[in-house]
Each structure stands twice: as C-alpha cells, then as structure tokens.
Amino acid sequence: MSNVSEKEFKALITLLDDNDGEVFSHVSDKLISLGIDGIPMLESAWETSDNQIIQTRLEDLINKIQFSNVKDRLNAWINSGGVDLLEGAILVAKFQYPELDEYKIIQKVNSISKNIWIELNPSLTPLEEVHVLNHVFFQLHGFFGQQTQQLDADLGYINNVLETKKGNSLSLSILYLILAQKNELPIYGINLPFHFIMAFSKKELNSEELTENNQENNVLFYINPLNKGIAFSRSEITHYLEQMKLKPTTRFYSPCHNLEIIKMLVYNQLSCYDQNGNKDKANQLKELFDLFVSDEDNLNIDDLFQDE
C-alpha cells in the first residue's frame, strides 16, 4: 500500500468529481495504487459521501483494484503450474465475489474430504473407491448436476456449488476432482465439447503427461458428474461425439491439466455473461482468459467448453 496521509487521502477523494480529465486520471491512479489494503478506506469514503459522482467513481475504483488483485493472483497461480485446483477455482469465484471468505471455502472442502478419507481403505478397487466418493459426494452431502439450455454463471462458482449443492458438469467436476486429489485418487478431468467428464487413471499422472493430453491408454473408466458419478466406457464418448458430429481425437478421451480446467471455467463464465448481455464482466473475464493463452497457442476459442 502506498503511503498516503489521511489529509492527502481526503483531498484526493474531493477531486474525484473534477471535470479535468488529467486531474481525474492522476487522482484515480493514486487511489488505485493503494491496492487491496486501501479498499476499506475507499468504502468508508463512499459511505460518508453524498456526492453521487464521487460514489460512482469510488465504486469503479474499488472494482478495478479487486479485479487487478484477482488477475495478479491468477497469473501467479498459472506461472506456478496450477498445482492447487481449489486455489484456481477460488480465484475465479473471487472475480464475482471479491469479499469471499477463502478460509471458509477451504474448511468446507476439507470437511467433505475427511468424510471420504474415513471410508477409504487400501484394499478397495478403483470402482469401489469411486463408489465411496460418490456416496459421500452425491448421497451424504447431496450434490447434484444441473443441465440447462441457458448458461447460468451462478452455477460456475465453487462457493455457490458448496452452498446450493448444485453445479454444471464443469463446476461439479472441479469440486469432485479437488476431493479426489486430496485423497490421492488418480481421477482427472476430461474436456468434452459442451460437457465435462472425469476419468480414473491406472496411475498418477505428472504435469507433463497431463499437459500433453495423450494419456488415453492409462484410463480405466470414465465418470459422469451429471449422473451421480456413474462409471462408463470409451464407447459412450465415441457415441456422444458421433451425435455431436465431431471427429474423435485423443484429447477427447485423455485426462487434462488443472490449467486447462480453470481455463475452461473462465471461458464458460465469460460465455454466460456475454450471452446474458453483461459485456463489462465478459470483457474482464476475457482478460483473465488471455492469461492462459500464449502467443504460440493456436487454440480456437469457439472450440472451448460451454456447458449447456
């Protein structure tokens, strides 16, 4: 946080409604430089001001600071390899809910994870392990998938999934995968067009193997998050692709990296806001999405996941 005295801060606030663009730009930059720690001061200024222009501009500044914080943290998460899927999901949720209590989310997830851990034992087969996870996740805690024709942004945020117990195929899978990873089960996400599923692997896959998206031979079976975690075979994916008139490729059968999962989540949220007419949020999410895309990445944005 920049060193700004109380007197200087008050002076900056009074200048927020200045008609001179250069003055306003300087004041905004100075207030934005306060960073996330300066938000309580800005909120207090908003509460005590009776100037509507100043209040509106304070709201905009607070939003910019909060968005910048999420963007910086997400960029750091990407650069560190996207190891912690829960952290990635929380950061996307903080885009919409900047005051989100991260610790409370982590506590809830750890509590569910402990329920799973208690019922697991080394003698279980992969199918039996998934049965345990499904029992705790879908029956004991009551999570369920919702498939709608209209994109609903609320279904994509992990805090909402934990609170309402419902999610789309992607957000539900993300929580399921987090719980599996915490219990050291080799379950990974698979990004199908318009649908997200999971796979149980013969072995734990490293970051490089997941990034290559070519580990189909290691898949024992697939898991459908929208049908209470039911296991199914490769042939059903092939049938689904045929119905969608899509050419089967290795990546549609292979586990993917956490980075790709959160990239899909960001894009899915972007699509929701864009289709619902909220262009401001869609544009901000496009900035977050661009953090995942390198100059060498030829990925067609229209081929990315949309959950309908």
Residue 48 tokens read as 């005590």
- End position of a domain, from candidates 79, 113, 131: 79
222 located within any domain: yes
Tell me: do 159 and 174 sit in the same domain: yes
Once rounded to an integer, what is the mean pLDDT over residues 91-100?
A: 97
> Same domain for 124 and 246?
yes
d(C-alpha 116, C-alpha 276), whole Å: 38
286, 150: one domain: yes
Share of the chain above pLDDT 90, in %: 79
Mean pLDDT computed over every residue of the chain: 91
Q: Are 296 and 221 found together in one domain?
A: yes
> Is there a contact between 167 and 143 (Cβ–Cβ < 8 Å)?
yes
> Residue 23: what pLDDT?
85
Based on the fold, state whether residues 207 and 279 are members of the same structural domain: yes
192 and 285 co-located in one domain = yes
pLDDT tens-digit series, residues 145-154: 987 656 899 9
Task: Out of 51, 79, 107, pick the residue that ends a domain.
Answer: 79
What pLDDT score does 150 carry?
63
Return the residue matching tokens 């919702």: 146
Span 8-29, mean pLDDT? 87
Task: Tell me whether residue 308 is in a domain.
Answer: no
The answer to whether residue 190 is domain-embedded is yes
301 within 8 A of 271, measured Cβ to Cβ: no
Instruction: Looking at the structure, tell me whether residues 62 and 95 fall in a common domain.
Output: no
pLDDT of residue 6: 85
Distance (Å) of CA 287 to CA 267, 282, 291? 10, 9, 7
Do 89 and 72 lie in one domain? The reply is no
The predicted model scores a pTM of 0.91
Q: In terms of domains, do 263 and 118 share one?
A: yes
**129-138 mean pLDDT:** 98
What digits encode the pLDDT tens for the residues 274-301?
A: 999 999 999 999 999 999 986 445 444 4
173-223 confidence digits (pLDDT tens): 999 999 999 999 999 999 998 899 999 999 999 999 999 999 999 999 999
Same domain, 114 and 179: yes
CB 181 within 8 A of CB 85: yes
Total number of domains in the chain: 2
Which residue, 177, 174, 195, 197, is CA-closest to 185?
A: 177
Q: Is residue 115 part of a domain?
A: yes
Of 79, 112, 135, which residue is a domain's last? 79
pLDDT (tens digit per residue) in 38-60: 999 999 999 988 889 989 999 99
Do 95 and 137 share a domain, yes or no?
yes
Q: Is residue 133 part of a domain?
A: yes
Domain-embedded: residue 251:
yes
**Quick check: 271 pLDDT over 70?**
yes
Angstrom distances, CA of residue 129 to CA of 19, 99, 118, 134, 189: 65, 36, 12, 9, 17
Burial class (CB in 10 A: 0-12, 13-18, 19+), 163: exposed
Q: Is the pLDDT of residue 14 over 90?
A: no
Q: Does residue 282 share a domain with residue 173?
A: yes
**Which residues span the domain enclosing 246?**
85-303
Q: How far apart are CA 262 and CA 88, in angstroms?
A: 6
> Is residue 305 over pLDDT 60?
no
Domain assignment present for 12: yes
User: How large is the average pLDDT for residues 111-128?
Assistant: 97
- Give the pLDDT confidence score for residue 92 in this predicted structure: 98
pLDDT at 299 (0 to 100): 45
Sorting pLDDT into bands at 50, 70 and 90, what band is 66?
A: very high
In-domain check, residue 1: no
